[in-house]
Structure 1
């Protein structure tokens, strides 16, 4: 079913009344004098001054003498001796013209020439020439010839919400009937042109030899539908007779004996025509057919389905909803029953996969104290791999599905209280492990300053003392994909509450140092603990769950001291590099946590009774367990950044240009005072910077261990330098480089919306996501992005944009000294010619020595149509070809051909 809606225009009209015109010589003379005095370029035929004449057709009037848009009222003298006649006009007439505006009182004609405009009741008419016959109640408008003999200034006729742009028009404003030659009008997304149009009344039009198209150029469209007879009801429907599709002025065999086009500004329910395809694995198919329900102005529903001749089928439910200034969102539910081969064959397999996506956003202005949001993406771990309806390139490479639904509320009390309720979901598609919290409750009370004055600045140790209270409760579930939402999933749930009361303060020390101190108290509640014992029958240690309430309490102390040091190296104002600024932020921290050995018990690990091991009944709790060992740790951190001032290349700029050399260079380590060995923790070094006007980002990190390892790969209490090595032993290192640039200057931000929603990347580094239910969207640009206008001569420098990602990982935990990861990914798009685009996403793994995922993309913009081709040559090879009309009204007119990747069911 084809759908399109009428467009709305809101012109301004004049609806004032005009007094009756009397056929009396005296009043005609009076009217002539009145009109003569009223406009310098407007005259009646009788009483016209002989010394003045109308301008010739090739003359133009100056702005001082050009007639303005003026009203021409006609007065009536009432009297007993005069017989009243019905008024010829029912409203006030307004008009103007560039060359002349002529009134013929005998013939009751008003003739306007050159850029003529006429306004009467709800009629607005602009044309080269307009003849207004107010005796016959008719208006004629047409084109005029310019100096070259070409016709110009075609009429633009508006009445109410309808607009017509014909070559000429004849209209009776009493009967509302009209004859229109070569009319051009727009109804929703459709442009309509007909040789002859007959307007029967305000709601019915009859067209002869009409063409319908969504092309912008109605006179020279790329395609159109040719109909011999048409009945048009603006804003409601179009009924046509024999209709033939014409492409590039060549008639095609595609024809319909009759057709019905509903037109409305609101969404309409209707059938969604499926597309045909075939597969070597599942046979022939009809895909993406169904029904669209326009339920209301605030929400809708589309039910789509696929069917394969081997018995496979799929169902999808898609709904969008919105309420202005309140909320908006959408829901997608997908289910697929996949069958491979045929029953009785050894390779026969059957599986069910599903996916649920839900996005919801609330307008913050609707209720600032209450917020609700949802971002859900859950389902079968193998959905994106085995789905027969979506080509999920980047999503198939993604290993994690995640969801979050949260509600938060703020209570404006004193102190302020914040509450949030959140449900989360994380799913590893490789291991099929699922971790959920159903739900997480968190309540926090705003900070209290018991020693701060009510007025004035909080300054000093005591005035800055503050405390806060937070309680967090979780119902945490860990399960497998196969047990999702089964009773076994809820049986192993873990519940707990954690209460935290931090007491902290901050103050200045010796003017240049900033100090912070805090004491943290934690109390954890569990409703299930464990006990360990050796079971001789099983010959192993068995954990037995003990139901019931239990709790433990811990506390700790933390303090830190830090400062900021600035250093500038000046080289002179005439140097290219005028100065380098070094910013250093050193800090020292100390933390102390006592031993909580009172929560520990012992068990016999082998049943011999000769050996005892300690454990705590709170092991495996969701908020951890109390520590037995005392912790007394000093932490050291050094943060650096380097910035340069360089002479600007632009000689008009007097100020130097700032260039960031290193965004950050951080060193961190710690020292455990109470440990009996291995007191120093490995040093962590990390940094990052940007090059080429922030287009290339480089980040690196490494771990340096001062201790040596033995032959078994275990750390020993010996310095690495004393063991024949260097001062530090590099155990790991990694570096990432991301580079995006464009030949057009600033690279455009590209958003792979569906790919991001599926859990993949926002860019097209791993290819693009193709939704087979709607192939009208471009592979290269976001919907609604403005397109560049192609010039007559295409630029010899091909415009392009490129995204590159490089990753390098080094491992040396056990002296293996190997490159464990080394890969390069590249995505590039270019314009081969005007309206021709090509792109590729590929990469190479230097460790595995093979090409990573690769996709080639080609697209042709055919104005009203779009054609694209994509090809995945390696691995699960796949190709698809599409050509179809861009407009949603005729989105079912398409040809979509693709191969089905041979995916194994897992």
Structure 2
């Protein structure tokens, strides 16, 4: 039985990863021993039915008769009996294969039941991966131990790395039981989401629960020497879900702070959408008292949409509410909706500076994916509300919106009907609001319908060539309902009473053709019909002693027609300077065109009214005046138009000597001149020539500087009152043209090459601001501001050591504007200002930014903002300061970068006195 027991032990350990020479020798000895001994055993099968006994065979009769056939039958019967071991084997302690390796050696100790792996040892079993300097597996106790080893200098190396599923731990040493899945870990280091955790002792209870002793939590990349951490002694840790701790203390630079909590809860869910409380920030104001701002709740309603509710409250009674929601559906649509409302109370009731007002703002952005339906689209960009919202809001300093004078919105839907001919339909609503005058213009809605071009004379071959075959007609419909109101009447009954409705129908008939081979000609005849729901009746009211307009409700219409044609060509000219010159040639492209337009007088739509009490003085008017699409013209329009566009391009020798072909450089992108001549002008009441408009633009310095300019040149002189007279300026002692206005703008953006791409501030750009920081960066009170660091900065000290060997990253945006006015001989500079925005790295961890400018006409500094930011590894600190002006304010922020701990911050900002 001794041999049998030994044999069974080896049977349990017979898996390939444990095979060695010693094991093979013992295994062969085992089988040889089994061959020499006749050991039989039989297990009693557990059956529910009785087994029919077989008939006993008399062996004595078999011996006497010596019947060979009977002996054969007996042998066959006895051979069919099952042979089973009566001793039930034990189940192997491992359920799968174990793979392991080591650089120096892998040793098996049969007496102690140990397998030892040394130097770069690795062990793989099911979902467990273990790497360490030394691994010892006790296959009798079903345990494995892993630890570090010392190198030749006595320093510990090859720290264990234990990974089970998605959980990874990097301790000093670890003990793990394969059966119970329990583990004991010393000085473990692990990552869970944005957290990095280190604990003196960790007890793994099962796959989902860990208990930690002497633990620290941080978001720093250096878990052994972090710049800050949360120290606690008792921790229950559930990977991927949460961390619950006992008494927790914040430690900064290994110095305990007085900030402590009796217990703490840290969520570690890997889900992106999790509902939760948003902690408010504290602030104080001289005019509104103490406050809590930006506190609320985030609702993760689904994977497609969410909702954030935020609120502000001041002790003097002021409060604010904000609802923000984002939604998206892949290959369908995406958008966001924001609603802000503030009830502002200044000072206290009874004081002379007491004031109370309600302001609000609605923003909606929606975009539909073209893949959803290629034949239809829907989009929305809404920004409306109180005109003074961005100037008076107590929660944000939106520079782009504050300096902008207009809020605008647009909602549109379009659909294409696949008919023959094709029909396109669009329905839109627009809104434009002047924040200074508080005047609001809206179209609710605008309907546009167009039928694709029809070529009635095209042949069966489908070729549209020549004057006759190119004749085409089209139908367009434009219907509008416009409303003009103010902030005080917005969405009140009076707003809709003043609405104006109109529908415009147009049928253009046109064709184009070649003329004398080098000229392109086109001609068109346009018919228009306009419908109105309201007209006016003008008369003199003796009671009021004034001319009044009476609104007449009811359908009315007028019809007009016009004719136009144009001829144009393209002329190319090249000036060659020689192949050996730096500038090899200059190419000049001119595109001149002449157009003619004629619109007859529609005097039949005009009536007369008495302009005084006597009735002797009469004037003409049209009952369609003030309509959406205007009124028909009273006089003929018979004009010739002249346009000339130019481009200049040069071929230059490339600085790169390896390139054979010359480099093309654009000298002037466009230089346009345009004017017109009135053929019906009498030279007294009407002047023949209109002013010449000159405009142009180009790009310089590798397309980094945009230059645009324009000027208006009037050929006629003016009298002492500033009225144009029928005398050319050159005949009045002046030059050929009198420059009445001119303007020039320069925009230049340069950088050191590392910060070429700017981050767009969508909120500022959406509200009419610039996408760059020329007007400064926007801030939300008590909610921090976007970091100037892009997240790619190195966290170690290597970058600092390279600082003095490399150039400082920087970028600069430069804008200059000059406007000249001389309409009435004032001959003065109306506008002359410069604006500069620059950002630079003082050190790899310090950033400096400034936005400022100067107005040379008003002799004053324009909006100025100074920005400082310090990268504190896991923390961030910034300071924004607007030193003077109506928007003067400052703000200081320091907080943890991690989104999980974003509420751990200190944010202090001044209250804008103008609000």
TM above 0.5: yes
Instruction: Indicate the residue corresponding to 1:897 in structure 2.
Output: 908
Using the TM superposition, give the Cα deviation of residue 25 of structure 1 relative to its aligned residue in structure 2, in angstroms: 4.2
The answer to whether the 8 Å contact 2:675/2:692 transfers is yes
Contact 1:33 1:47 in 2 (8 A): no
Tell which deviates more after alignment, 458-467 or 200-209. Answer: 458-467
Which residue in 2 is equivalent to 1:854?
864
2:803 is paired with a residue whose SS is coil
Partners of 1:785 and 1:382 in 2: CA distance: 36
**Match of 1:821, SS?**
strand
Which residue of structure 1 lines up, in the alignment, with residue 127 of structure 2? 122
1:365-404 mapped onto 2 (5 Å cutoff): 365-404=371-410
- Identify the range of structure 1 (298-307 vs 827-836) with the bigger mean alpha-carbon deviation: 298-307
Q: 1:476 to 1:185 in 2, by over 3 A?
A: same
Change (3 A) 1:564 1:788: farther
Query: 2-side partners of 1:351 and 1:509: how far apart?
Result: 68
Distance 2:452 2:83 in 1: 87
Aligned partners of 2:807 and 2:16: how far apart in 1? 68
**Matches of 2:430 and 2:735, distance apart in 1:** 46
Q: Please name the residue that 1:754 is paired with.
A: 763
Q: How far did residue 793 of structure 1 move?
A: 3.2
In the alignment, which residue of structure 1 is the partner of 2:750?
Answer: 741
Larger radius of gyration: 2
Does 2:102 match 1:91?
A: no
Cα distance, 1:824 vs structure 2: 0.5
Q: Which moved more, 1:793-802 or 1:478-487?
A: 793-802
Q: Out of 267-276 and 471-480, give the one that drifted further.
A: 267-276
The 8 Å contact of residues 145 and 175 in structure 2, kept in 1 or not, is answered as yes
Question: Please, which of 899, 907, 912 is the counterpart of residue 888 of structure 1?
Answer: 899
Structure-2 change in CA distance of 1:744 and 1:788 (3 Å): farther
State TM-score, norm by structure 2. Answer: 0.89
Equivalent residue pairs, number = 848
Match of 1:766 in 2: 775
Q: Secondary structure at the match of 1:598?
A: helix
Call closer, same or farther: CA 1:622–1:98 in 2, change over 3 Å. farther
The match for 1:491 among 471, 484, 497 is 497
Moved more, 504-513 or 92-101: 92-101
1:164-203 alignment runs, 5 A limit: 164-203=169-208
**1:157 corresponds to 2:162:** yes
Q: Return the match for 1:558 from 564, 585, 596.
A: 564
CA contact under 8 A between 2:282 and 2:291: conserved in structure 1? yes
1:62-77 aligned within 5 A: none
Task: Considering Cα pairs closer than 8 Å and 6+ residues apart, tell me whether 1 or 2 has the greater RCO.
Answer: 1
* Residue deviations 1:124-178 (CA, integer Å, cap 9, x gap): 2233333333332222222233343332332222222322222222111211111
Cα distance in 1 for residues equivalent to 2:838 and 2:419: 55
Are residues 615 and 44 of structure 1, via their aligned partners in 2, closer, same or farther at CA, if it must alter by over 3 Å?
Answer: farther
**What residue is the counterpart of 2:70 in the other structure?**
none
Q: By how many angstroms is 1:411 displaced?
A: 1.8
Distance in structure 2 (CA, Å) of the matches to 1:329 and 1:217: 39
Is 1:32–1:46's contact at 8 Å kept on the other side of the alignment?
no
Q: Deviations over 1:173-196 (max 9, x none)?
A: 211111111112222221111111
The answer on whether the counterparts of 2:429 and 2:442 sit within 8 Å (CA) in structure 1 is yes
Distance 1:364 1:147, change over 3 A: farther
SS of the residue aligned with 2:313? strand
Q: 2:84 aligns with which of 80, 83, 86?
A: 80
Maintained 8 Å contact 1:32/1:47? no
TM-score normalised according to structure 1 size: 0.90
Deviations 1:333-352 (A, max 9, x none): 11111112221122211111
Structure 1 CA distance for aligned equivalents of residues 458 and 107 of structure 2: 87
Q: Is the 8 A contact 1:776 1:891 kept in 2?
A: no
Q: Gaps spanning 5+ residues in structure 2: where?
A: 28-81
Tell me: CA distance 1:891–1:32, structure 2 relative to 1, closer, same or farther (3 Å): closer
Taking the aligned partners of 1:387 and 1:32, their CA distance within structure 2 comes to 78
SS of 2:295's equivalent in the other structure is strand
Q: Does 2:483 correspond to 1:477?
A: yes
**8 A Cα contact 1:32 1:43, kept in partner:** no
Tell me how far apart the structure 1 counterparts of residues 321 and 332 of structure 2 sit (CA, whole Å).
Answer: 30
Distance 2:12 2:553 in 1: 109
Give the structure with the higher percent helix.
2
CA 1:24 to 1:383, structure 2 compared with 1: closer, same or farther past 3 Å? same
* Matched-pair contact (CA < 8 Å) for 1:597–1:627: yes
Paired with 1:226 and 1:854, the residues of 2 have a C-alpha distance of: 43
Instruction: Flag the 1:464–1:775 CA change in 2: closer, same or farther, 3 A.
Output: same
Q: Residue 253 of structure 2 aligns with which residue?
A: 248
- Does the 8 Å contact 1:450/1:465 carry over to 2? yes
Would the alpha carbon gap of residues 802 and 44 (structure 1) be closer, same or farther in structure 2, given more than 3 Å must change?
A: farther
Q: Distance in 2 between matches of 1:550 and 1:574?
A: 73
- Asked if residue 211 in structure 1 is aligned to residue 216 in structure 2, the reply is yes
Contact 2:17 2:99 in 1 (8 A): no
Asked if the contact 1:632/1:674 (under 8 Å) is kept, the reply is: yes
- Residue matched to 2:815: 805
- Provide the C-alpha distance between the structure 2 equivalents of 1:746 and 1:694, rounded to a whole number of angstroms: 16
Counterpart for residue 693 of structure 1: 702
Aligned to 1:57: none
Bigger CA drift: 27-36 or 211-220?
Answer: 27-36
Relative to structure 1, the CA distance from residue 867 to residue 34 in structure 2 (aligned partners, 3 Å threshold; closer, same or farther) is closer
